[in-house]
Amino acid sequence: MAASIGKFAVSLVSGAQETNLALAHLSLDFAIIRLEAPKEFQGLGTALSKKRKHEAEQGSVHATARRLGALFADDMPPIPNLSRAYGLRASEIAENPSFNPTGGIADGPLAGHVGADGTSIWAAATSGRGALQVHLLACLLARMWSASEAIAIWSELVTARKAKLEETLHGLEFQASSLIASRIEVSHESLAEWDASARSWLRTGDKAKLLQQKQMMLIVDNIGLPIPSHPNVFEGVMAVWKNAMLTVEKLVSGIAQQINDPKVLVGLSSWHIYPDITFLGRETTTVYLNDDLVQRGGMVTVGMQNASPNEHKGISWTMPLAQLQFCGEPEALKRTIGEQSVRVSFGHLVHVAMGILCSCLEEPK
Backbone angles phi, psi at 336, to 5 degrees: -130, 140
Length of the chain: 365
Rounded to the nearest 5 degrees, what angle is found at the Cα of 326, between the Cα atoms of 322 and 328?
70
Alpha-carbon distance 222 to 211, whole Å? 17
Alpha-carbon distance 95 to 48, whole Å? 9
pLDDT tens readout for residues 3-62: 444 443 344 334 444 444 455 445 445 556 889 999 999 999 999 999 999 999 999 999
pLDDT interval class at 177 (50, 70, 90)? low
pTM over 0.85: no
For position 12, what pLDDT does the model report?
Answer: 38
The three-class DSSP label of residue 120 is: helix
Residues 84 and 253: beta-carbon distance below 8 Å: no
Q: Which residue intervals of 253-345 are DSSP H helices?
A: 263-271
Nearest residue to 217 (alpha-carbon basis) of 305, 288, 315, 82: 315
Strand order in the sheet with 277-279: 257-259, 300-302, 277-279, 285-287
**Does residue 196 or residue 105 have the better pLDDT?**
196
- 231 torsion bin: left (phi>0), alpha (psi -120 to 50), beta (else): alpha
Give the strand pairing for 257-259 and 225-226: unpaired
- 314 torsion bin: left (phi>0), alpha (psi -120 to 50), beta (else): left
**Does residue 256 or residue 335 have the better pLDDT?**
256
For position 16, what pLDDT does the model report?
Answer: 44
pLDDT interval class at 106 (50, 70, 90)? low
The amino acid that residue 365 corresponds to is: K
